[in-house]
Amino acid sequence: MTEVSMCSSTGGGELTPEEERVLIRDIAISAEANSKEGDTFYLITQRWWQHWIEYVNQDQPNITIDGSSLLEHGDLVGSSKRPASINNSDLIYDATSEDLHVGIEIHDSLLEGRDYVLLPQEVWNQLHSWYGGGPTLARKVISSGLSQTELAVEVYPLRLQLLVTPKGDHSTIRISKKETIGELHRRACEIFYLNSEQVCIWDYYGHRKHALMHDMDKTLDDANIQMDQDILVEVLNNGNGTALSDYMCPTLENGSSQKGASSILLEPSKSSLSIAGGLSASKGASRSCSAELSQGQNLTSPAGEVDNTYGVSGVSTRGSSSGLTGLHNLGNTCFMNSAIQCLVHTPEFAKYFREDYHQEINLQNPLGMVGELAIAFGELLRKLWAPGRTAVPPRQFKAKLARFAPQFSGYNQHDSQELLAFLLDGLHEDLNRVKHKPYIKSRDADGRPDEEVADEYWANHIARNDSIIVDVCQGQYKSTLVCPVCNKVSVTFDPFMYLSLPLQSTTTRSITVTVFSCDGSTTPFACTVTVPKQGRCRDLIHALSNSCSLKNNEELKLAEVQNHVFQRFLEDPLISLSTIKDDDHLAAYKIPKSVKKTLVLRLIHRRQERETNDSQTASRWKPYGIPLLSSISCDDVITRGDIQTVVHKMLSPLLRAESLRQADIADSNTLVVASDACHDSSPGEACSDPISDSIRNSSSKGSSSSKALASLKLPLQLVDENNACIDLSVGEEKAIRLSSSATSIIVYVDWSQELLEKYDTHYLENLPEVLKYGPVNKKARTEPLSLYTCLEAFLREEPLVPEDMWYCPQCKERRQASKKLDLWRLPEVLVIHLKRFSYSRSMKHKLETFVNFPIHDLDLTSYVANKNSTRRQLYELYALTNHYGGMGSGHYTAHIKLLDENRWYNFDDSHISPISEDEVKTAAAYVLFYRRVKSDGAISNGGKPSEGHHSSQI
């Protein structure tokens, strides 16, 4: 780009205002024509920029200054003096960041056009050469949008917290979403003086290891890294198996340290207005800059309309039908905009909030927000329904939302349905007509007709909850619980605000379990089986028993393993398989059936790890690997030697060839062949182990080699009732004292380096996940799923999860009962949430399943348990939210039908465009909004507040 130097027609003196304006205009036009990814833009305070615009346009005959909108600038009103030096101090925090790797931090809530203007580098350089000042706030242009073809300025780069383990150091850095994992890795090593070959970094979202970030060419955006999340910097062990205590310090070529050498301020960053589908902030800034300077136009908002600020482009709806007004994206607020548009275009709410709803605001409700949320929503709705408006920035509403729901503050992407749920509940509490909620105890059904019990439950609910939200959106379930022990049936009737339907595209699922043998007969192997998706634990055990060739005298113990210990045992055959998540780790243990009294022996592996605290290094035994399980008869006295024998047998398949040769049991060739054969066997195939066979044969013959093995005392520690450890490597004949009520014992085996040389423990290193997600195949994407199928899956009987156990009044105990749902009372507006997102310990996953939903005549008649009404339950779709893309970087839009036009529109933040009904049918639906159809085929209308509330009777 052509470099422009300062020039003057007056012989080298100061330029006139007109000359400054023309020069900057020409530079801006050139910058706009040549803008590209990687260009640098600069933030300049709106306050100074406004003053300069007035200064250079003071002689323009067509300039009009709206004094009313400039009053907020104080001393700038009517000023035509040359501005002082640039002062960006109102954009940054007063206190300097203690972390050198963050740089100058700008306020988190800045908005383009209201607080700052983005200037191309050449414009900034010229202004800075004339006026000086600062500080300099540089940001770069990146590709943005769903197609990654739009240009945007990343005003807020990612702010990440780096946590080092095991040392415990931490640091905060700013880095672009478009930077690679390799750059983040390099910078972490640079900050903490680490050797890059001995460092790995983890996505540590929510202080849990979600994923190892090993693809160095992948961008942080593609890796779904979020603002203000943690990154775990893990220092790996060195060659001798101990933790690193001395960190390497990389140096520059001249020998000086690199720490703090890199500049964070010049990182590419995404504009708060361009994230998730907004307009290009970089091009918008250039256009605005050149247009203002060439035309001398007024840069301020119209009087009284402070929401319409400079620098924010939108779709003008002047002269169009009411209701076609967009919402500006304030930085990842598409999740909020889509939900608001659907609520705003719900006719009952549009009518209610455009009338005098203030009389129903509940100022006494401790569960509400003193009416502030309702007022903010009502004011926003009125702006969106006012005729002849351009797109509205929902700043005031977002500020109220952040105040009462801090989880939605900032500029991260959030779940639109979670916002919708909070908003509906918050509006209900703010508008609850019940000022003092009475305490009402629900009675048991006691054989009464369902209709009588349902009406009683609903009356009790209305006595405490009575608002426009209840009138329009709330319905009633019939919930039936059956005790698995005494078959006691309990029926309740509960209100609902929306239906959350699971997306079950298949009826089966694959589960991978690692199978262990406690008698030393086989090495561990992974076994993958197919089970019903809505099955029980007994289905999984049955499938595993067949796949691993379980003998008649054996049984399987199933356990979930987490952090190298047993998390839970899946002993109840009625446990739902839905409680087993795809990222869980399961192990199954073959143990002999016994009529005698037995104890379960839990064998936990430990190894030494070095820890550094307060400059002192100490070694501690910590759990590692996969725990093992066996049984031991307790009819007779159990000695320390008995436990040694059982553990020897459990570990025998892991003996190395050298150990076997020394014991004269088998030669190394047999071991290698057997080990390779087992390792190469397909999942689910039982693998015979000649080594273990030879051990058993030798033992049965009483050979000298078996005695040699038995003479090897394993370093075992038994945990007694007082949590003290008893050394089992001495006193072989000593009896173990156990409580008469004990059902299991815990034994630690401490793996020294010498012991690891005798056993091959790689089998114990890792358990596979229950299901490893891979890319969605084409078949899964093309097979549609019916909305009715989702509803049937939601209403299907299934057992409660363990945390929701039910108290059986007949058994007088908590039970994991089975639960069946039926629809009983349907609302005027039915909100259906399709559960596309699942959150687990190691990943954040989205189901891309296409759902085939009806636009006309959603018929729920057959799903309603209340048969007193003979009319059909038909619903018509009028709005829906869509979600495109992945979890963190996706984009929300809304499809809405304007009932007065009988026409569909796409609401994409500030952009509104008409669409066909066929386009609606193929949408990436996330939340669906249906309205009841009257028996004559017309869509019902909500009554005025003055007409009183209705209770949505069937």
Residues with active-site annotation = 334, 891
702: left (phi over 0), alpha (psi -120 to 50) or beta: left
Angle CA(269)–CA(272)–CA(273) in degrees, nearest 5?
Answer: 120
Who wins on pLDDT, 209 or 611? 209
Counting residues of the chain whose pLDDT is more than 90, the rounded percentage is 25
Q: Ranked by mean pLDDT, which of 57-61, 742-746, 923-927 comes out on top? A: 923-927
Averaged over 296-305, what is the pLDDT?
35
Nearest-angstrom CA–CA distance, 116 and 91: 8
Nearest-angstrom CA–CA distance, 441 and 683: 55
Q: What's the token pair of residue 564?
A: 């190298």
Contact criterion met (CB below 8 Å) for 411 and 331: yes
Residue closest to 833 by CA, chosen among 819, 857, 851? 851
In this prediction, residue 8 has a pLDDT band, given cuts at 50, 70 and 90, of very low
Q: What's the token pair of residue 491?
A: 């029926």
Contact criterion met (CB below 8 Å) for 432 and 387: no
**Lowest mean pLDDT segment, chosen from 11-20, 127-136, 395-404, 533-542:** 11-20
Who wins on pLDDT, 529 or 846? 529
Q: Please, what's the b/e burial string for 807-841 (b: 16 or more CB within 10 A of its CB; e: otherwise)?
A: ebeeeeeebbbbbbbbbbbbbbbbbbbbebbbeee
Type of residue found at 866? N
Averaged over 779-785, what is the pLDDT?
55
In this prediction, residue 855 has a pLDDT band, given cuts at 50, 70 and 90, of very high
Contact criterion met (CB below 8 Å) for 880 and 925: yes
The three-state secondary structure class of 935 is: coil
Contact criterion met (CB below 8 Å) for 750 and 717: yes
Q: Quick check: 888 pLDDT over 80?
A: no
Question: Pairing mode, if any, of strands 744-750 and 716-719?
Answer: antiparallel
Question: Pairing mode, if any, of strands 86-87 and 133-134?
Answer: parallel
Q: Quick check: 722 pLDDT over 90?
A: no
In this prediction, residue 388 has a pLDDT band, given cuts at 50, 70 and 90, of low
Nearest-angstrom CA–CA distance, 307 and 304: 9
Nearest-angstrom CA–CA distance, 473 and 497: 6
Type of residue found at 344? V
Averaged over 225-236, what is the pLDDT?
84
Residue closest to 171 by CA, chosen among 78, 89, 269, 101? 101
Nearest-angstrom CA–CA distance, 768 and 775: 18
Q: Go through the chain and tell me how many residues it has.
A: 954
Number of helices followed by number of strands (H, E) in the chain = 23, 40
166 cis-preceded (ω within 30 degrees of 0): yes
Nearest-angstrom CA–CA distance, 130 and 85: 9
What mean pLDDT value characterizes the chain? 76
**For residue 920, what are the contacts with CB-CB under 8 A and spacing of at least 6?**
855, 877, 880, 895, 904
Bridge partners of residue 576, in order along the sequence: 536
In this prediction, residue 753 has a pLDDT band, given cuts at 50, 70 and 90, of confident
Residue closest to 548 by CA, chosen among 521, 509, 583? 521
Nearest-angstrom CA–CA distance, 172 and 164: 12
* DSSP 8-state assignment for residue 519: T
Nearest-angstrom CA–CA distance, 751 and 642: 20
Q: What is the pLDDT of residue 672?
A: 37
Question: What secondary structure does DSSP assign to 324-358, as a single string?
Answer: ---B--SSS-HHHHHHHHHHHT-HHHHHHHHS--G
Distances (CA, A) of 848 to 148, 530, 831: 20, 22, 20
Q: What's the token pair of residue 751?
A: 């793996």
Q: Quick check: 664 pLDDT over 60?
A: no
- Note the pLDDT tens digit of each residue in 151-184: 778 888 888 889 998 878 888 898 988 899 999 9
Contact criterion met (CB below 8 Å) for 227 and 279: no
pTM of structure = 0.48
Contact criterion met (CB below 8 Å) for 844 and 224: yes
Q: At 814, give phi and psi (nearest 5°).
A: -80, 135
- Note the pLDDT tens digit of each residue in 604-660: 999 888 776 666 677 788 888 899 999 888 777 888 888 888 998 888 888 876 666
Q: What is the pLDDT of residue 65?
A: 35
Q: Quick check: 420 pLDDT over 90?
A: yes
Averaged over 79-90, what is the pLDDT?
84
Nearest-angstrom CA–CA distance, 543 and 548: 9
The three-state secondary structure class of 771 is: coil
The alpha carbon dihedral of 569, 570, 572, 576 has a sign of positive
Contact criterion met (CB below 8 Å) for 822 and 795: yes
Q: Quick check: 427 pLDDT over 50?
A: yes
In this prediction, residue 72 has a pLDDT band, given cuts at 50, 70 and 90, of very low
Distances (CA, A) of 919 to 15, 145, 778, 896: 57, 20, 21, 12
Question: What secondary structure does DSSP assign to 271-332, as a single string?
Answer: -TTTTTS---HHHHHHHHHHHHHHH----SPPTT-TTS-TT------TTS-TT---B--SSS
Contact criterion met (CB below 8 Å) for 832 and 928: yes
Q: Sheet harboring 489-496: ordered strands across?
A: 489-496, 475-482, 818-825, 798-799
Distances (CA, A) of 921 to 98, 629, 856, 880: 53, 53, 11, 11
Q: What is the pLDDT of residue 338?
A: 96
Q: What is the pLDDT of residue 854?
A: 94
* Residue listed under structure tokens 């970030």: 213
Type of residue found at 409? S
Contact criterion met (CB below 8 Å) for 166 and 243: yes
Q: How many CB atoms lie within 10 A of CB 491?
A: 17
Q: What's the token pair of residue 585?
A: 């780790």
Q: Quick check: 460 pLDDT over 90?
A: yes
* DSSP 8-state assignment for residue 239: T
* Residue listed under structure tokens 């049918």: 921
Nearest-angstrom CA–CA distance, 885 and 879: 20
Q: What's the token pair of residue 202?
A: 């983890």
In this prediction, residue 291 has a pLDDT band, given cuts at 50, 70 and 90, of very low
CA torsion, ordered 937, 942, 944, 950, to nearest 10 deg: 110
- Note the pLDDT tens digit of each residue in 588-611: 999 888 767 788 889 999 988 877
In this prediction, residue 102 has a pLDDT band, given cuts at 50, 70 and 90, of low
Q: What is the pLDDT of residue 273?
A: 28
Q: Quick check: 946 pLDDT over 60?
A: no
Q: Quick check: 118 pLDDT over 60?
A: yes
**For residue 102, what are the contacts with CB-CB under 8 A and spacing of at least 6?**
159, 172, 173, 174, 264
Contact criterion met (CB below 8 Å) for 694 and 738: no
CA 493 to chain centre: 32
Q: Please, what's the b/e burial string for 142-166 (b: 16 or more CB within 10 A of its CB; e: otherwise)?
A: bbbbeeeebbbbbbbbbbbebbbee
Distances (CA, A) of 416 to 60, 473, 568, 892: 48, 17, 34, 8
Nearest-angstrom CA–CA distance, 586 and 65: 72
Q: Ranked by mean pLDDT, which of 74-78, 475-479, 579-583, 804-808 comes out on top? A: 475-479
